[in-house]
Amino acid sequence: MTIPLAEAQTYVLDRISRLDTVTLCVDDCLGLCTSAPLQAEESIPPFDNTAVDGFALRTSDLAGITRHGSIRLGVEGSIAAGDPPLDLAEPGTVLRIMTGAVIPGGADAVVKVEDVLVEAESIVVSRPIAPGENIRQAGSDIIRGSQLFPTRTVLTPAHLGVLASVGYSRVPVFRRARYGVISTGSELVDDARQLRPGEIRDSNRHSLKAVLADADVQVVDLGIVADEEGALTEAFLAAAGELDAIVSSGGVSVGDFDYTKRVLDHLSGGEMRWMQLAVRPAKPFAFGMVAGVPFFGLPGNPVSALVSFELLVRPAIRKMQGWREIFTPELSAVALDSYPRRRDGNIHFIRSQLQVRESGDLVVQPLAKQRPHMLHEMSRSNALIISPDGDGFGKGDRVKVLQTGPFVSTKPRQG
């Protein structure tokens, strides 16, 4: 009996809990979620300062411009970013000022250096300047006492900059999960030697480590384990002690000639659930708690493993790490080619190239090779078209898409 994808997702997410909260150095928080609302204890900018290089002046000194066409003002000194505050001297004088410097006491505007005639010790201003012109007011970006970010904000580089700007050196966050990655299969090798007949190189561990790092978790490489009861038991148990979750690939298909199933059934106390999902690729999937740790059994086929990751592991990571939105949003794009298929009870996730047209519209090209061992073709893809059970779609139809990588250009690609 196949299980609808949504049911498997709910099954997994019901068994995933949010991790505990910690306080980390700002630089360690990229991609993590705040675990408390954060207030600003300081204003930004902290003082009135100039947005341009120019001359700080009193606008009242410019009253005569309308009568005389221009006004000459004496330059009494200069003030650079980082200098302590100064005051303007008597009326009719200005201070040279550099971007970011404190507005001098008595000044109420800054005229840009390129808007005046600069002479030896004076300037000539020939247009009126409004009070406040070119001044960045204290608190105009962030006012002290205001809320910076609500709880469960996913921290991007700009958020980290904001936090640093108001003096946060440490930030309360849901901690980063530690995910172990393991490859199972007696055919797998991971070194430079010549392959013996029947052997293949382990690719899943490397692509899964990369996709986990991309999902902002801490990755622990657990290596390859052969299909052998003792080795599997030892590897899974050792891993579970140290980690928040384990992602394995291989050994979950129906009729597999390996021991992964038996070992995991034993270690989970019979709680491991072996599923056949109503999707293509990534049909086989196993999930359960092994020694108290969520265990994701992904299929061995390299394409299936990555698709399975997107559908089942990534949302679980987001939930663990405190995100509010845990599913990747579906985009809408126009198909550049048809994808004829038959009703088979499955949702198809079609590897494809999502492109942005010059107009800004999204278009998507389904790739030719869709078999689950064809990882090279998948490496050309940055999206999965979601084809619900039915007859597929025609060229020009609007389809739903999950973006899985950066946009590709609209120009024809090499190779």
Kindly state whether residue 200 participates in binding ligand AMP, applying the rule CB under 6 A: yes
Whole-angstrom Cα distance, residue 34 to residue 163? Answer: 11
| Structure tokens given for 165 | 């700007």
**CB of 212 closer than 8 Å to CB of 205:** no
Site membership for ligand AMP, residue 45 (CB under 6 A) = no
The tokens of 380 are what?
């050309």
Size, binding site for ligand AMP by CB under 6 A:
19
Instruction: Choose one: 66-74, 164-172, 195-203, 313-321; the region binding ligand AMP (CB under 6 A).
Output: 195-203
378 forms part of the interface with ligand AMP (CB under 6 A): no
- Judged by CB under 5 A, how many residues of this single chain contact Mg ion? 4
Q: Which is nearer to ligand AMP, 188 or 350 (CB)?
A: 188
User: Strands 279-280 and 347-356: what pairing?
Assistant: parallel
Of 22, 32, 89, 12, the residue nearest 56 (C-alpha): 89
Exactly one of 45, 54, 250, 284 binds Mg ion (CB under 5 A); that residue is 250
Residue of this chain nearest to ligand AMP (CB atom): 300
The stretch near ligand AMP (CB under 6 A) out of 34-42, 144-152, 252-260, 323-331 is 252-260
Among the listed residues 253, 353, 370, 404, the single contact to ligand AMP using CB under 6 A? 253
Tell me the pairing of strands 170-174 and 21-25.
Answer: antiparallel
Cβ of residue 14: shortest distance to ligand AMP, in angstroms? Answer: 25
Rg for the chain, CA atoms, rounded: 31
Please identify which residue in 35, 93, 268, 301 interacts with ligand AMP, judged by CB under 6 A.
301
Residues in the chain: 415
- As a whole number of angstroms, the distance between CA 150 and CA 168 comes to 15
Amino acid identity at 151: T
Q: Which two tokens stand for residue 88?
A: 């303007």
The secondary structure of the chain in percent helix, strand, coil, rounded to multiples of 5, reads 20, 35, 45
Q: How far apart are the C-alpha atoms of 250 and 188, rounded to whole Å?
A: 10
Q: Which CB sits closer to Mg ion, 50 or 253?
A: 253
CA distance 21 to 34: 9
Which residue type, as a one-letter code, is found at position 130?
Answer: A
Q: Residue 185 interacts with Mg ion (CB under 5 A)?
A: yes
Does 251 contact Mg ion by CB under 5 A?
yes
Binding segment toward ligand AMP, per CB under 6 A, in 76-84, 296-304, 344-352, 391-399: 296-304
DSSP one-letter code for 127: S
109 binds, among ligand AMP, Mg ion, none (CB under 5 to 8 A by kind): none
Closer residue to ligand AMP, CB minimum distance, 116 or 182 = 182
Contact region for ligand AMP (CB under 6 A) — 5-13, 155-163, 180-188, 308-316? 180-188
Chain residues in the site for Mg ion (CB under 5 A):
185, 250-251, 300
Chain residues in the site for ligand AMP (CB under 6 A):
183, 185, 187-188, 200, 202-205, 249-253, 256, 299-302
